[in-house]
Amino acid sequence: MALGDVLPLTWMEKNGRASVGGVELDAVAGRYGTPCYVFDVAHLESRLEEFEKALGGIGTPVYATKAFLCTALAGLIAPTGWWVDVVSAGELAMARRGGIPASRILLHGNLKTRAELDLAVEGRAAITVIDSLAEIDLLDARAEGRPVDVMIRLNEHVDLITNRKVLTTGGHAKFGLTPQAADTAAARIAASGSLRLRGVHLHAGSHITDPALFGVIFERLAEFVVRHRSAFTSDHPVMLDVGGGLASPYLRTDPVLTPRAAADAVRWAMDVIDAEDRIGPVEVMMEPGRSLVANAGLLLYTVGVRKPLPVGGEMLALDGGLTDNPRPALYDSRYELLAAGHLDLPAERPFRVFGRMCETDVLLDSVNLPASIGPGDLVAMPAAGAYTFSMSSRYNALPRPPVLFVKDGEVREVVRRESLEDVLGGQLMMEEAEPWSITEMEKAV
Ligand SMILES: Cc1ncc(COP(=O)(O)O)c(C=O)c1O
């Protein structure tokens, strides 16, 4: 509930200038250019530890890599006890390259390709989270008797009010199995020669601010396990995965939900329903994405244009936008914006802030910045670590910005800035491209 909650842990201000990880952001921008994603490694490390401690004695955190992944982040996660959740062969490959063992990977996704299911069969992910009845049959057929560990993803209505685009349960959600279908799934998996039921999962959606919801989710999962206890393998504790979705503060007025509060709500539910007496050994899994990375990261931009708006007031245009952070366009997400090189000046003049893409590309409806701000000035958008780089695009043929990890006065470009070569890569003139027609296929048969 304060600006400090939104900022990276090592954010400091000196002589009006901001630094992260002991490096002035002006200097970072000077060396690496803007836009760029800057991540505070100390913040990431501290969050990794905080979740592990919060779940201590009851379970394991699982990082939802869709929020942000690069091999360097996987490298920070690898030496911890964290698992990761991946939804594609690409996320899986990145996690593996960063050193995360297959034994700590959950394969999610509402539509896994056959090739991705084969990765599970080959043991390149520990557990596949079943999202439909058809997927059980497909996986079972591809396994051909080889053991494959699975979880069932439930879709049960829980009382979460959030942006409908990030609500993943309820009548309109595409994810998981309805209670009735989940009953069928448990029986079908138990009857399969290959699939072993290890657990059950429910991710309600994102921006959960009420910790009690995690207790409710745990109870739903536990009830399911009690009803189907014999369908679960008895070789391991039963995994009850309460999903992620812990809210992150984007604005200084946003509420903060701590990992400890969410984990304690689960502990309380475990006691109330005597989970271990009724089920036997259980392992709680919690799957945060944004709450690990959102506030560790920020986006740095340079102001390019300042001009009056036809309706009155003034606008700024920044040198990035929709392509590096599509969240304002997708979800009407709101952010803070700070004049990173002029924090000593009062932020008292309202501006509407646009990106440079050929859409409306409004990044902030209104934000107060110093009256003198103008072209060439650096601005920092905090809480921009989640669902930004991972959702970035090359719209308007813009190369993607770099990802910079900062720690102890050093900056490392862990994902390099794309070049025009990258943007043009893979493109051929029509006459350069190998022709193919149906007759080629016929010849091959
Ligand atoms: C299955 C699953 N788990 C975890 C998450 C992480 O959600 P959040 O980033 O809001 O914590 C998501 C996000 O969509 C998800 O689909």
Burial class (CB in 10 A: 0-12, 13-18, 19+), 424: exposed
Give yes or no for residue 91 CB within 6 A of ligand 1.
no
Q: Beta-carbon neighbour count of residue 351 at 10 Å? A: 22
Ligand 1 atom 7 nearest Cα: 245
Give yes or no for residue 108 CB within 6 A of ligand 1.
yes
| pLDDT, mean of residues 155-165 | 76
β-strands 297-308, 314-318: how paired?
Answer: antiparallel
Going through 95-143 in order, the beta strands assigned E by DSSP cover 105-107, 127-130
Say if residues 120 and 128 touch (Cβ distance below 8 Å): yes
pLDDT at 157 over 90: no
Instruction: Quote the tokens at residue 157.
Output: 């209505």
Give yes or no for residue 290 CB within 6 A of ligand 1.
yes
User: Ligand 1 centroid to 278 CA: how many Å?
Assistant: 28
Q: What are phi and psi of 53, to 5 degrees?
A: -65, -45
Q: Beta-carbon neighbour count of residue 57 at 10 Å? A: 8
Ligand 1 atom 9 nearest Cα: 289
Helix 212-227 / helix 179-191 crossing angle, nearest 10 deg = 50
pLDDT given at position 116: 97
CA atoms within 13 A on the CB side of 53: 9
d(CA 15, CA 168): 45
Q: Residue 274: left (phi > 0), alpha (psi -120 to 50), or beta? A: left
pLDDT at 171 over 80: no
Residues of the chain with pLDDT > 90: what percent? Answer: 93
pLDDT given at position 156: 87
Helix (H, G, I), strand (E, B) or coil at 305: strand
| pLDDT, mean of residues 350-363 | 96
pLDDT at 375 over 70: yes
Residue 422: pLDDT band with limits 50, 70, 90: very high
Q: Which of 51, 87, 108, 206 to mutate to test the pocket of ligand 1 (most atoms within 8 A of CB)?
A: 206
pLDDT given at position 164: 72
Give yes or no for residue 400 CB within 6 A of ligand 1.
no
Give yes or no for residue 65 CB within 6 A of ligand 1.
no
Residue 165: pLDDT band with limits 50, 70, 90: confident
pLDDT at 28 over 90: yes
In this predicted model, which residue has the larger pLDDT, 419 or 442?
Answer: 419
Ligand 1 atom 1 nearest Cα: 203
Burial 353-373 (b: 16+ CB within 10 A, else e): bbbbbeeebbbbeebebbeeb
Residue 160: pLDDT band with limits 50, 70, 90: low
User: Ligand 1 centroid to 168 CA: how many Å?
Assistant: 9
Say if residues 84 and 100 touch (Cβ distance below 8 Å): yes
Nearest partner of 63 among 42, 77, 76, 75, judged by Cα: 77
Residue 234: pLDDT band with limits 50, 70, 90: confident
Residues of the chain with pLDDT > 70: what percent? Answer: 99
CA atoms within 13 A on the CB side of 355: 25
Give yes or no for residue 201 CB within 6 A of ligand 1.
no
d(CA 90, CA 105): 13
Q: Which of 169, 287, 295 to mutate to test the pocket of ligand 1 (most atoms within 8 A of CB)?
A: 287
Instruction: Quote the tokens at residue 258.
Output: 């701590």
User: Ligand 1 centroid to 367 CA: how many Å?
Assistant: 29
DSSP string, 394-406: -GGGPPPPPEEEE
Ligand 1 atom 4 nearest Cα: 244
- pTM (predicted TM-score): 0.96
Q: Which domains does the chain have, with CATH numbers?
A: 3-39+294-424 (2.40.37.10), 41-292 (3.20.20.10)
- The span from the first CA to the last CA of the chain, in angstroms, equals 66
| pLDDT, mean of residues 335-344 | 98
User: Ligand 1 centroid to 66 CA: how many Å?
Assistant: 8
| pLDDT, mean of residues 270-282 | 94
Amino acid at 242: V
d(CA 14, CA 11): 10
Nearest partner of 49 among 66, 64, 61, 67, judged by Cα: 61
| pLDDT, mean of residues 88-107 | 98
Give yes or no for residue 109 CB within 6 A of ligand 1.
no
Give residue-wise pLDDT tens across range 310-336: 999 999 999 999 999 999 999 999 999
pLDDT given at position 438: 83
pLDDT given at position 155: 93
Amino acid at 335: Y
Nearest partner of 232 among 287, 272, 181, 185, judged by Cα: 185
Active site residues: 358
User: Ligand 1 centroid to 390 CA: how many Å?
Assistant: 13
Q: Calculate the average pLDDT of the chain.
A: 96
pLDDT at 409 over 70: yes
Give residue-wise pLDDT tens across range 114-131: 999 999 999 999 999 999
pLDDT at 68 over 70: yes
Sign of CA dihedral 214, 41, 78, 33: positive
d(CA 321, CA 354): 7
pLDDT given at position 439: 82
